[in-house]
């Protein structure tokens, strides 16, 4: 049976870099954020978003993601409502994707909110990616062309590194590419030995 390896980490920790490195080893990767963005363009999800947030988050009948983000990141209740629409859609999509990869030894399920969404319960092992706070902030500022304040606001909606690490099986320190690659090889070796012995 395919093992689900949860991959998480705070914003700016470098989960995508880690996911890409796993992919280079031939491991199928499911990136929840990318899939959620695609699903948020589906008629079913758009209809539910319009019902919950009215027309103010639409422009010329197109969802204004920036406007929606501003609303939900400053209002925990609104974030909860949005998550209740998007998470079930992602979960169903993932189950279909998993069925197509049922012959794989293991797959990587990448999610920034693996713990917050409760998805960690479906994982066989969990990897948490960590990096120093200042490095993370700078990465996000550069990547999203945003401000320090907005990055810190987004961080408030996520569990901190200590909370995530305490519930994870593996921790990858993403401060150098060399350490990251070494960490991934060690994890893959462990998982393959575990699979052979099960």
The three-class DSSP label of residue 130 is strand
By CB atoms closer than 10 A (0-12, 13-18, 19+), residue 62 is: exposed
Q: What is the torsional sign of CA 190, 196, 197, 198?
A: positive
Residues in the chain: 198
Q: What is the torsional sign of CA 21, 23, 27, 31?
A: positive
16 labeled binding residue: yes
Distance, in Å, from the CA atom of 105 to the CA atom of 103, rounded to the nearest integer, reads 7
12 labeled binding residue: yes
14 labeled binding residue: yes
**What are the DSSP E strand ranges found in the chain?**
3-9, 29-31, 58-59, 62-63, 106-110, 125-130, 170-173
The counts of H helices and E strands in the chain are: 9, 7
13 labeled binding residue: yes
**What are the DSSP E strand ranges found in 32-167?**
58-59, 62-63, 106-110, 125-130
Binding annotation for ATP: 12-17
Binding annotation: 12-17
């Amino acid at each position: 049976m395919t093992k689900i390896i949860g991959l998480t980490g705070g914003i700016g920790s470098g989960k995508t870099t880690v996911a890409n490195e796993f992919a280079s080893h031939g491991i199928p990767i499911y990136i929840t954020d990318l899939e959620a963005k695609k699903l948020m363009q589906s008629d079913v999800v758009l209809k539910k978003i319009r019902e919950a947030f009215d027309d103010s988050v639409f422009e010329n009948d197109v969802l204004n993601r920036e406007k929606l983000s501003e609303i939900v990141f400053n209002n925990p209740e609104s974030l909860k409502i949005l998550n209740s629409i998007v998470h079930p859609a992602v979960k169903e999509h993932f189950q279909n994707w998993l069925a197509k990869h049922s012959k794989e030894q293991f797959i990587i399920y990448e999610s920034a909110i693996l713990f917050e969404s409760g998805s960690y319960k479906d994982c066989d092992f969990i990897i948490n990616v960590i990096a120093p706070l200042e490095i993370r902030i700078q990465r996000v500022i550069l990547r999203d062309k945003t401000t320090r304040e907005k990055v810190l606001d987004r961080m408030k909606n996520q569990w901190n590194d200590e909370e995530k690490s305490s519930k994870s099986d593996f921790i990858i320190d993403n401060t150098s590419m060399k350490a990251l690659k070494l960490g991934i090889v060690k994890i893959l070796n462990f998982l393959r030995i575990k699979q052979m012995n099960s």
